[in-house]
Amino acid sequence: MSVITVTRQISERALNILRKDHEVHIWEEDRPMPRMNLLRAVAESEGLLCMLTDKIDEALLDSAPKLRAVSQLAVGFDNVDLAACTARKIPVGHTPGVLSEAVADLTFALILATARRVIEGARYVRSGLWGTWSPGLLLGHDVYGSKLGIIGLGRIGQAVARRAAGFNMKIMYHGGRDSDAARALNAEPRSMEALLRESDFVSLHVPLTPATQHLIGARELEMMKATAVLINTARGPLIDQKALYEALKEQKIFAAALDVTDPEPIHVDEPILQLDNCVIVPHIGSASVRTREAMGILAAKNLVAALNGEPMLHTANQEVYL
């Protein structure tokens, strides 16, 4: 029986997988585990089931001499120092696949909300401004038949492309390894610049790494059409948020929608929150009941496998097994 720390409340079904053979300690509060509590907890733990709000770095690993496995409840793992885990022979699990459709659903919700000014419209009605029907009221842009540029045609990018087909969108992509999948989706490859210049909607689906930090800055925003919309359901630091604010304020692009910000949470005084052409939601891409349960179960299975000395179902640092 190993001691496992779980840094947030997850589904009972997931917890039961862990409890079957292990002693499980859960941080019950609805906020990230304070760093000191986390360091104290991992000192005695062999397994850690963590969230993207937990920093898994050298300092944490140094205070966790018994730690044998880390399992993250997310597909992204930019909060985890992978090299440091690998150096200690600690496999790091993550949860790809089970959340792709939910994140693609939210991406499409944001595409539609920004293009057709849904949030602005709801605010307009609530504030009593709706006097009469008007032919020029809250005009947006068509989604049907438009051009979608997907940056990162991985699992989530492909799920977005499948939805786009139903809207008769022309699909272009930059980045992504599976050209068979791209062909099956009728997605055409583009250079980054061509994609930015041609697309009506640009949607980001790449992981955050040093190479992708500020992938979209002032220069890239300049290349986009004045009628274009930028969507980010991946990681906040992919976009230079100050440059985005300027571009939206100057109406260099039509709108943006962010499920992720830099930092998270975004400070309530940030001027970008005041813009009508920017929709920001609180990192809820995978936040459906069914998906979060599936993520919990997969994260639990990853951890149990590693503690049993077996390979995880999905390991972020596959090289740990070499």
Which residue type, as a one-letter code, is found at position 201?
A: F
**Among the residue ranges 4-12, 70-78, 166-174, 248-256, the one whose residues contact ligand DGY (CB under 6 A):** 70-78
Task: Return the number of the residue (228 or 260) whose C-beta is nearest ligand DGY.
Answer: 260
Footprint of ligand DGY on residues 275-314 (CB under 6 A)?
285-286
When binding is defined by CB under 6 A, the residue of 75, 151, 229, 257 that contacts ligand DGY is 75
The binder of ligand DGY chosen from 38, 99, 187, 279 (CB under 6 A):
99
Under the binding rule (CB under 6 A), the answer on residue 156 touching ligand DGY is: no
Question: Around Cβ 32, how many Cβ atoms within 10 Å?
Answer: 17
If the CB atoms of residues 52 and 223 are measured against ligand DGY, the closer one turns out to be: 52
User: DSSP assignment of 157-178, as one string?
Assistant: HHHHHHHHHHTT-EEEEES-S-
Q: How far is CA 139 from CA 64, 115, 200, 315, in A?
A: 56, 9, 16, 46
CB atoms within 10 A of CB 274: 10
Q: Measured from the CB of residue 320, what is the shortest distance to ligand DGY in angstroms?
A: 20
User: What's the CA gap between 308 and 248, in Å, rounded?
Assistant: 51
Question: Shortest Cβ distance from residue 48 to ligand DGY (Å)?
Answer: 17
- CA nearest to 229, candidates 134, 96, 119: 119
Build a one-symbol-per-residue string for 38-57: x at contacts with ligand DGY by CB under 6 A, - elsewhere: --------------x-----
Q: How many residues touch ligand DGY (CB under 6 A)?
A: 7
Which is nearer to ligand DGY, 58 or 264 (by Cβ)? 264
By beta-carbon proximity to ligand DGY, the closer residue of 171 and 299 is 299
The two structure tokens encoding residue 127: 């504030």
Q: Which stretch binds ligand DGY (CB under 6 A): 42-50, 69-77, 156-164, 300-308?
A: 69-77
The DSSP output letter for 219 is H
* Lookup result for tokens 């790091």: 92
Complex with ligand DGY: residue 3 or 284, whichever CB lies closer: 284
Taking Cα atoms as reference points, which of 223, 232, 274 lies closest to residue 252? 223
Alpha carbon of 111 to those of 10, 119, 144, 152, 230: distances in Å? Answer: 30, 12, 11, 17, 9
Residue among 176 and 285 whose Cβ is closer to ligand DGY = 285
Q: Which stretch binds ligand DGY (CB under 6 A): 34-42, 73-81, 157-165, 193-201?
A: 73-81
Q: How far is the CB of 102 from ligand DGY (least distance, A)?
A: 8
Find the binder of ligand DGY among 76, 189, 217, 311 (CB under 6 A): 76
User: Under a CB-based contact definition with an 8 Å cutoff, are residues 278 and 256 in contact?
Assistant: yes
How many angstroms separate the first and last alpha carbons of the chain?
26
Amino acid at 27: W
> What residues are annotated to the active site?
235, 264, 283
CB 83 within 8 A of CB 314: no
Of the candidate spans 72-80, 110-118, 154-162, 245-253, the one that interacts with ligand DGY by CB under 6 A turns out to be 72-80
Interface residues with ligand DGY (CB under 6 A) are: 52, 74-76, 99, 285-286
